[in-house]
Structure 1
Amino acid sequence: MSLDTVKHASDTPDVEQPWAELGLKRDEYDRIREILGRRPTGAELAMYSVMWSEHCSYKSSKVHLKQFGEKAPASDAMLVGIGENAGVVDVGQGYAVTFKVESHNHPSYIEPYQGAATGIGGIVRDILAMGARPVAVMDPLRFGAADHPDTRRVLPGVVAGIGGYGNCLGLPNIGGEVVFDPCYQGNPLVNALCVGVMRHEDIHLAKASGTGNKVILYGARTGGDGIGGVSVLASETFDETGPAKRPAVQVGDPFQEKLLIECTLEVFKEDLVVGIQDLGGAGLSCATSELASAGSGGMRVELDTVPLRDSTLSPEEILMSESQERMCAIVEPGKVDRFLEICEKWDVIATVIGEVTDGDRLEIYWHGEQIVDVPPRTVAHEGPVYNRPYARPEWQDALQADDANALPRPKDGDELREQVLRLVGSPNQASKAWITDQYDRYVLGNTVLAQPEDSGMIRIDEETGLGVAVATDGNGRYAKLDPYTGAQLALAESYRNVAATGAKPLAVTDCLNFGSPEDPGAMWQFAEACRGLADACRTLGTPVTGGNVSLYNQTGDTAIHPTPVVGVLGVIDDVARRTPMAFAEEGQLVYLLGDTREELGGSAWSQVIHDHLGGMPPKVDLERERLLAEILISASRDGMIDAAHDLSDGGLVQALTESCLKGGKGARLVVPDGLDPFVFLFSESAGRAIVSVPRSEELRFTDMCGARGLPAARIGVVDGDAIEVQGQFSVSLAELREAHEATIPALLA
């Protein structure tokens, strides 16, 4: 192994370097030389290449993401915002909750089990690094066509990886989504969310301050897995040949991570840490440069002290490795011995690898030779910023003109019935129990609601019942039709889902999954989605606390639908007052809240019945969403409703089917005057929900809706063992259950 020292790099300016192979552009390489005043060493080149990758630097998205700060609504709840490992919000009683969603898309296509497992591991460490105990995970997933052979390869592996890692950690999986669409063929989306809980005083940040403080690397040994992994894999487009970079996918060990979690929480409890950072994308390159960049001085690291699984690794490989289950802590010298004692107690390897200096450089040595001497901010926070060209695609007008409202509709009640069964049995609308039953939803004993409820809900204080609810949503079909509106609909649905359980929405995290930023059309979709989401967050008063951008989600020239996945977190004072989705009491009245319009663009009906995508998505009325949420929360708190379910994909008939099947009770419905039965059942107008109201509460509930100006139509009663639409058709719960529950096992079991 040749050692490319800083002095040698200064003395040999003309040596050819593999900057292009490492994913850098010529002008980026020239910029590195300009920053350093010389050519980089091999180790410096490795660091800049991973830290300036799309995944780590956000170089194509920064100019659009800044709207989330510029347009952020004032929020008394926000404790830590964008820029740290995860956002933190105040939920009352001295508790703070941190949550974040990230992507592990490309690695999960190449190696489904490990790609998904390490996605869970990485997001859990982000939450841990904030000082919180992780309490739950969620997994918004997108796959190719449900009947495609490669979906049978990817989906079971992804689900097994998520379940295997999360179950071993002892973390309940309380929600998420599974969506099938041919556009995700060859490029599945595996997004992972984690929620953590702490007291206000326990918040920790990623910074290296205090001259002489020690840099301690602890956790698993560093190996050759994941070298250039997520940082490089997520920064390029797959070619048509498919999986090719298996060695770049990290390998996870959930049992090691469990030890790391408990060890870290004990270290926090004894106040032994000044700053902390997990090792995820870009590994040590990221942890050292970000800690030094956010701190008050410089850092010196002795790289040869890093514990290795593979003694043949070069310094560049050690810096780029994305081996899992590792953390980096800044510790005062007088507390180092106690820190190491706790690590030994938990059987966690811990090594002092460096210290904070009084300079302003990140210096890394290898057996006494200096191999890195860089300004850390240039690595971590001052990478390239691109104003990529973007333009509305030429095909957008034709797509929007191809109106789904003009598609042939069922002629009578028999056809309506047949299409209802086809819809509820379609892969996207069918029960996902085959998948979610592989996850432990109730471990730790604090899960209040989990799939298939509108939101996952976790109790965080046993004495008072304080809890939080989290939902994730994102409809790529809507966003393809109109990315501005599509992003707002994703937020609106998550917001509505949280409110439907009785929790007050507080804050947002997002995972923005798009095609290549080098394609002006894909970049336009991204820019519009960011603008739409930022505008909607401002109106609803829910600031973005952090998240992730995943670009280059395409195979060859074929991009995925633009897919902004939006997570909303809400707080509920007492989880005993939560509202479930199940119709459980016969004789209760079914009310439809909100306005139903003829809105079928991007709908599940147009996809299932006609394999069609065109027209405009449903309109967004954010003030109506806010009003609906207030009504749902008040009705839940005051005991006016026993069940609530938002209306979204599949419209009223999908929501009714889910509420009836969950509670084992049917419903008799009457179509409101002046409304087409077909539109009544299949429209996907936003800002709507169904609720079941005890007869004793009907007057109080309708008076509240009327006083606040929310349309509330009594459409039926909970009764019997079928869904009956008067004058149209009746379908038994047994037949609906067979259609709803048989699809996924038949495709994947």
Structure 2
Amino acid sequence: MLSAQDLALLRKALGRDPTDVEIACFENLWSEHCSYRSTKPLLRTLPTEGSEVLLGPGDDAAIVRFSDTCALAIGMESHNHPSYVDPYDGAATGVGGIVRDILSMGARPIALMDPLYFGPLEREKNRYLFEHIVAGIGDYGNCIGVPVVRGELVFDHAYSGNPLVNVVCVGTVDPDRYITARVKRPGNHLVLIGSSTGRDGLGGASFASRDLAEDAEAADRPSVQVGDPYTEKLLIDAILEMAETGKVLSCRDLGAAGLAGASSEMASTFGAVIYADRVHLRETGMVPREIMLAESQERMLIEVAPEDVARMGAIAEKYDLRWSDIGEVITEPRYIVKFHGEVVADLPVDLLVGGAPLCAWDKAPYSAETPFVRPKTAIKDIALAILAHPDVANKDWVYEQYDKDVQLRTVSVRHDAAVLRLEDKALVFSCGCNPRHIYLKPFEGTANAVIENASNLACLGADPLCLVNCLNFASPEHPETYWQLEQCVLGLGDAARKMAIPIVGGNVSLYNESDEFETQIKPTPSLGMVGRGEVRQWTAPAEGELLALIGRTLPDFGGSVLDAVTECGGPAPAMADPAVVGVVRDLVRGGRVTAATDLSRGGLLAALVKVAPRADVNLAGDPLEELFSETYGRFLVAVKDESALAGVEHRIIGTVGGDALTLQLRDGMVVITPGELETTLTSTTRLMRF
């Protein structure tokens, strides 16, 4: 709903009362989801330019050069509220929407990533949400033939009642032939292609800009779109064929705010007349407000010259898709909607698209770190509990839902980052963040998320090309939340500048709260990063190779998995020195290490289990600090000979091989057998399968 202040502003600007269609347009396009009223000034502080950036933020997706003949289209979106109300369809249409964002640039979608955040699996409702969200993502991606190659899973009570479903999509396009979303010339026509418009998804943008009430599932289900991946596959092929003709002058996906959102934003460089009665419909009796604001899926809007309309229509019909010539670009900067000859909306286009007044919220810094309390539990019991934690444990049940090999580019999807082959080079993917660290130290935690994603790429010898983000927060009306938001954006920008990684796009999702569970999500600035390097797979070290630790370890227990399982408290990690990332990248590229992984959730213990589950390890320091600290900027590497690490500060900690993971600690020995590892790492999978 528009506030009284917004309505007063509109009445003054228009000199009259707005019509019901105009009010609906403003409710959606002035919503937080579409207008970024709370975050625009913060987002302007982010570094968005780079030598390979061809098109930065502001379009449906960014364009980044991969080679002289290939560019990447990349975008990131959230579908959080719909995925709570209807987890399968909410998650599925989240995938469909971000794929169409890439498609609208004239790019072929080639890969997806899905950072996901849920409440604890011990709760039946959270297991239900988890199962159906994963199924929705997997089914939609599999049906349209776009592989999910990377993801993240975080489980924390803060997401009970408000799971986060973030999706990254990457596509490929000729760097000289990508399409943008702004109309080019008055007199051109606007053609709607794809599914018929129904009443599903009405008010979706405004729905995504408020918190979830206790009765959300019943009351808000009409705001959730229902997707059809088979139509989406046809739409992908049709739009790519249209783009190949060179006759598509601009293109936009119909997402938030439906036709009103796509057409007004598309026409904002000039103006447009939309004939709502020409839109092909799925339901009878739809009124203009419903036609303009419905968020029915699998629809695209293109700009073409009048003489090319029939040619585009013929291509649509070839793929059994409906189409309608529904509008025209005009010179006057107005947004006009007509219905059977009657003008139902007539607005200054810049007022509708860019005129939302900014929100100013109070800020309240806080300190949430608590003193460290040493756990009294035996080290081995703690170790097994950490390995069983769902953030660390085996996630094969999820991976099995996704077809990772479709399109035949996938080289590897396990361990630190995913690798796809593209023009004989590696396109490398990483995503995610650590919300528990970010809650305790928003600036440092977000900066470390940048460093960790770059570290994942470095373990495969890849340079970061760019990153995208999804800023998921609770209500900015809470002073503590707005302070979190500000600090996270500043930390994101600081780390990106230090590492020369342009931030080329993203999304903001606010009001992630649940009345039903009385929860507010932790600050979750989820990231997606892509890099370029030589094609290589992560390899396990051979028996007899040495294990070395690079980077300094500190007692950083606050927000760690150790903290989650023992409530030990302690300080969260400070911002790491990003220079170590380049050091390890060079080691991998030079073939000086046979395996590398960065230390993150679960600390050194989790890294050892991943790299060398059978090894003899000797650690002389505090066992808790050595095994479970989550200090960033650290790497576990395997080498054939210590001379390979000449000039690099490191510590040899063990040797690969043996019958078990044997940890020689200052207070005694801990042995974790392969059988114990198998049982522990799969304990969460049994919960996932109910």
Q: Return the TM-score normalized by structure 1.
A: 0.89
In the alignment, does 2:669 pair up with 1:717?
Answer: no
User: 1:290, 1:377 within 8 Å by CA — same for their partners in 2?
Assistant: no
Aligned sequence identity (%): 40
In the alignment, does 2:443 pair up with 1:500?
Answer: no
**Number of the residue aligned with 2:331:** 358
**Number of the residue aligned with 2:600:** 648
1:130 is displaced (CA, Å) by: 1.6
**Number of the residue aligned with 1:13:** none
**Number of the residue aligned with 2:625:** 679
Amino acid at match of 2:655: V
In the alignment, does 2:7 pair up with 1:44?
Answer: no
Q: Distance in 2 between matches of 1:219 and 1:721?
A: 59
Cα distance per residue 1:401-439 (max 9 Å; x no partner): x123x33255xxxx2222111110122211111111111
**Number of the residue aligned with 1:460:** 422
1:604 is displaced (CA, Å) by: 0.5
**Number of the residue aligned with 1:548:** 507
Q: Distance in 1 between matches of 2:376 and 2:629?
A: 12
User: 2:575, 2:632 within 8 Å by CA — same for their partners in 1?
Assistant: yes
In the alignment, does 2:54 pair up with 1:84?
Answer: no
Q: Distance in 1 between matches of 2:575 and 2:34?
A: 33
**Number of the residue aligned with 1:734:** 675
Q: Return the TM-score normalized by structure 2.
A: 0.97
User: 1:480, 1:561 within 8 Å by CA — same for their partners in 2?
Assistant: yes
Q: Distance in 1 between matches of 2:202 and 2:15?
A: 27
Amino acid at match of 2:682: E
Q: Secondary structure at the match of 2:265?
A: helix
**Number of the residue aligned with 1:53:** 31
Residue of 677, 693, 696 corresponding to 2:639: 693
In the alignment, does 2:292 pair up with 1:336?
Answer: no
Q: Secondary structure at the match of 1:201?
A: coil
Matching of residues 234-313 of structure 1 within 5 Å: 234-243=208-217, 244-293=219-268, 295=269, 297-313=270-286
User: 2:49, 2:56 within 8 Å by CA — same for their partners in 1?
Assistant: no
Amino acid at match of 2:430: A
**Number of the residue aligned with 1:591:** 548
Q: Distance in 2 between matches of 1:351 and 1:747?
A: 45
In the alignment, does 2:3 pair up with 1:29?
Answer: no
Residue of 456, 480, 486 corresponding to 2:439: 480
Amino acid at match of 1:99: I
Cα distance per residue 1:646-683 (max 9 Å; x no partner): 1011100011112235xxxx111121x5x223211111
Q: Distance in 2 between matches of 1:262 and 1:272?
A: 16
**Number of the residue aligned with 2:531:** 570
In the alignment, does 2:384 pair up with 1:421?
Answer: yes
Where does the alignment leave 5 or more consecutive residues of structure 1 unmatched? 1-22
In the alignment, does 2:168 pair up with 1:193?
Answer: yes
**Number of the residue aligned with 2:207:** 233
Residue of 574, 593, 617 corresponding to 1:669: 617
Q: Distance in 2 between matches of 1:183 and 1:746?
A: 19
Cα distance per residue 1:215-260 (max 9 Å; x no partner): 000011001110012x122111122345231111000000100111
More off after superposition, 172-181 vs 549-558: 549-558
In the alignment, does 2:491 pair up with 1:532?
Answer: yes
**Number of the residue aligned with 1:11:** none
Matching of residues 515-526 of structure 1 within 5 Å: 515-526=474-485
1:718 is displaced (CA, Å) by: 1.5
Where does the alignment leave 5 or more consecutive residues of structure 2 unmatched? none
Q: Distance in 2 between matches of 1:678 and 1:223?
A: 58
1:349 is displaced (CA, Å) by: 1.2
Q: Distance in 2 between matches of 1:694 and 1:338?
A: 63
Amino acid at match of 2:661: I
**Number of the residue aligned with 1:611:** 567
1:579 is displaced (CA, Å) by: 4.6
User: 1:144, 1:188 within 8 Å by CA — same for their partners in 2?
Assistant: yes
1:386 is displaced (CA, Å) by: 1.1
1:380 is displaced (CA, Å) by: 1.6
1:490 is displaced (CA, Å) by: 1.4
Amino acid at match of 1:232: S
Change (3 A) 1:137 1:369: same
Q: Distance in 1 between matches of 2:376 and 2:495?
A: 33
Q: Distance in 2 between matches of 1:26 and 1:644?
A: 57
Q: Distance in 2 between matches of 1:266 and 1:659?
A: 45
Q: Distance in 2 between matches of 1:598 and 1:585?
A: 31
Amino acid at match of 2:422: I
Alignment RMSD, CA only? 1.5
Q: Distance in 2 between matches of 1:498 and 1:375?
A: 46
Cα distance per residue 1:288-325 (max 9 Å; x no partner): 110111x3x22111110000001121100111100000
Amino acid at match of 2:211: T
User: 1:73, 1:541 within 8 Å by CA — same for their partners in 2?
Assistant: no
1:119 is displaced (CA, Å) by: 0.3
Q: Distance in 1 between matches of 2:56 and 2:564?
A: 38
Q: Distance in 1 between matches of 2:246 and 2:216?
A: 48
Amino acid at match of 2:491: G
Q: Distance in 1 between matches of 2:172 and 2:393?
A: 33
More off after superposition, 507-516 vs 558-567: 558-567
**Number of the residue aligned with 1:748:** 689
User: 1:473, 1:491 within 8 Å by CA — same for their partners in 2?
Assistant: no
Matching of residues 183-222 of structure 1 within 5 Å: 183-222=158-197
More off after superposition, 425-434 vs 162-171: 425-434
Amino acid at match of 1:702: L
Amino acid at match of 1:650: G
In the alignment, does 2:395 pair up with 1:445?
Answer: no
Cα distance per residue 1:450-479 (max 9 Å; x no partner): 1x4211222121xxx112112112111111
Matching of residues 139-218 of structure 1 within 5 Å: 139-218=114-193
User: 1:73, 1:538 within 8 Å by CA — same for their partners in 2?
Assistant: no
User: 1:133, 1:265 within 8 Å by CA — same for their partners in 2?
Assistant: yes
Cα distance per residue 1:82-109 (max 9 Å; x no partner): 1111122112232111222211000000
User: 2:333, 2:348 within 8 Å by CA — same for their partners in 1?
Assistant: yes
Amino acid at match of 2:612: C
More off after superposition, 283-292 vs 721-730: 721-730
1:73 is displaced (CA, Å) by: 6.8
**Number of the residue aligned with 1:367:** 340
Change (3 A) 1:346 1:437: same
Q: Distance in 2 between matches of 1:227 and 1:329?
A: 22
Amino acid at match of 1:89: V
More off after superposition, 237-246 vs 248-257: 237-246
Q: Distance in 1 between matches of 2:623 and 2:110?
A: 44
Residue of 20, 36, 40 corresponding to 1:62: 40
Q: Distance in 2 between matches of 1:590 and 1:583?
A: 12
Amino acid at match of 1:142: Y
* Aligned length in residues: 684
Q: Secondary structure at the match of 2:671?
A: strand
Q: Secondary structure at the match of 2:600?
A: coil
Q: Distance in 1 between matches of 2:114 and 2:240?
A: 24
